[in-house]
Chains A and B, each alone.
Chain A
Amino acid sequence: MNVKGVVWKLLWILALLPVLCSATEYDAVKFSLENTDIQAIAEHDGSMWIQLSPPAASRLQTITAQSYGKQLIVDIDGISVFSARIYSTIESGVIQVDNPSPDVRRRLERLRSLR
């Protein structure tokens, strides 16, 4: 038995593990945002509205153009905000968060206060 070969295979599997884990079982894609990706936040009719910075808006446009029909999970600073299936290329850079959880609302309000 070639021990070296087995070790290499194990190392490859370990290296690929994060990639394999990020492709969720429901064929979802993740859109991660940081503070600097957010240009403005507003509250309207009980929903929170996020206007992305131009680079983040461009990322959203690319990901929505390439992932039609997949579940898009939006997270901010590691906190999952909401998810929905992608049915349109989003060119506006606007994200609407309906019925945000108290935790998400607090996070977004804090980000808004920093602007």
Chain B
Amino acid sequence: MKGTSVNHMVLRLVALLAICSSAFTASAEECPVTPAAVISTAGDTNGLGSLSQAFVVPPGYETMSGRVRFLSSEWPTWYGTEYNDTYLVRLTAPGKSLVLASGNVNSSTWTAGVLGFNGKAPEKNFTADLSALVGKTASIQYEVRDVGDLLVDSGLAVDGIKVIRTQQYVPAGGGTLNSNSTISGAFGQGVKLTFKNLNVLGTSIQVADKSPFGETKGVILLPQQSVTFHFSRFGQEPMSWNFDVSTNADAFIVGYSIESTWVQGMPNNPCY
């Protein structure tokens, strides 16, 4: 028998381990990860369960992925009827709206359920390209909707939502130097400094990492010639770097660019 029921949206947050051991297969995680959750229609006046999370897309992290599993008690009794509950996962950002996953009871295949639901559909993985959204705020929304009744509930288990690192080195600034100078900042484990001689005369250039045990690297640059020096140390990111750039040449004009494995806006390493 179908009918109306209790009234407000219930959002059940379930511990990661509980979800991993029941709704999903466990796997190694990569940070940042949203804790697992179950969005349910249970108790909502409008038969809608929803959850959304906003996040700023960090530099160098241009893909996101996650997985969902549709859960429903409409199956098996109300499978193939008008009680065709639905779910939707959507990514929105300025100028972008993208459906990442969607489905309904009648279009899903079902096996015995978990977490109090009669049935569970297969896990569905999704990915999204975030390359146009670096530095912008995006939002991921999950919705489960009762169709035809408010009595028999459906849910959506959400897990493994992560923004995935796609670039090792990210631009971290640059400029022009015309005398001995210092380049410093909060960067990552690896820093690449690229210098280009902008002068019509050749020049010497030396770069000294001023940290303990820091290396010094140098070269003679012909006009318009470029060189990239790579500095590295292992540690937690961000880390402080200080470079002295010097020359013996009387005329010194170089352009430089910095690339690093960590720049402002990226999550700290390690992230917990």
Q: Interface with B: A1-9, A10-18, A80-88, A101-109, which one?
A: A80-88
Please judge, given known A-B contacts A49-B213, A83-B270, whether A95 and B261 are in contact too, CB under 8 Å.
no
Please state if A49 and B212 are interface contacts (CB–CB under 8 Å): yes
| Residue in contact with A68 in the complex, picked from B168, B233, B240, CB distance below 8 Å | B168
Max chain A CB contacts within 10 Å: which of B190, B233, B239?
B233
Please state if B234 and A96 are interface contacts (CB–CB under 8 Å): yes
Q: Is A44 part of the binding interface, using a Cβ–Cβ cutoff of 8 Å?
A: yes
Please state if B270 and A69 are interface contacts (CB–CB under 8 Å): no
Tell me how far the C-beta of B10 lies from the nearest C-beta in chain A, rounded to whole angstroms: 31
Please judge, given known A-B contacts A60-B234, A84-B234, A84-B270, whether A40 and B190 are in contact too, CB under 8 Å.
no
Please state if B234 and A95 are interface contacts (CB–CB under 8 Å): yes
Please state if A84 and B236 are interface contacts (CB–CB under 8 Å): yes
Please state if A96 and B233 are interface contacts (CB–CB under 8 Å): yes
Please state if B234 and A74 are interface contacts (CB–CB under 8 Å): yes
Smallest CB-CB separation from A47: which chain B residue? Answer: B235
Report chain A residues within 8 Å CB of B262: 87
Q: Is A53 part of the binding interface, using a Cβ–Cβ cutoff of 8 Å?
A: no
Report chain B residues within 8 Å CB of A97: 235
| Residue in contact with B231 in the complex, picked from A25, A45, A85, A92, CB distance below 8 Å | A92
Tell me how far the C-beta of A17 lies from the nearest C-beta in chain B, rounded to whole angstroms: 20
Smallest CB-CB separation from B213: which chain A residue? Answer: A51
Report chain B residues within 8 Å CB of A82: 235-236
Interface size class of B (residues with CB under 8 A): 20 to 34
Report chain B residues within 8 Å CB of A84: 189, 234-237, 269-270
Q: Is A94 part of the binding interface, using a Cβ–Cβ cutoff of 8 Å?
A: yes
Q: Is B230 part of the binding interface, using a Cβ–Cβ cutoff of 8 Å?
A: yes
Smallest CB-CB separation from A94: which chain B residue? Answer: B233
| Residue in contact with A85 in the complex, picked from B213, B214, B270, CB distance below 8 Å | B270
Max chain B CB contacts within 10 Å: which of A25, A44, A71, A96?
A96
Please state if B188 and A88 are interface contacts (CB–CB under 8 Å): yes
Interfacial residues, chain A to chain B (CB-CB below 8 A): 25-27, 40, 42, 44-45, 47, 49, 51, 60, 64, 68-69, 71-72, 74, 82-98
26 A–B contacts from the bound complex (CB under 8 Å): A27-B28, A40-B213, A47-B235, A49-B212, A49-B213, A64-B234, A82-B236, A84-B235, A84-B237, A85-B269, A86-B234, A87-B168, A87-B262, A87-B269, A88-B190, A89-B232, A90-B232, A90-B234, A91-B232, A92-B233, A94-B211, A94-B213, A95-B235, A96-B211, A96-B234, A98-B239
Given contacts A72-B234, A96-B236, 6 further A-B contacts (CB under 8 A): A44-B212, A49-B213, A69-B30, A71-B270, A88-B261, A94-B232
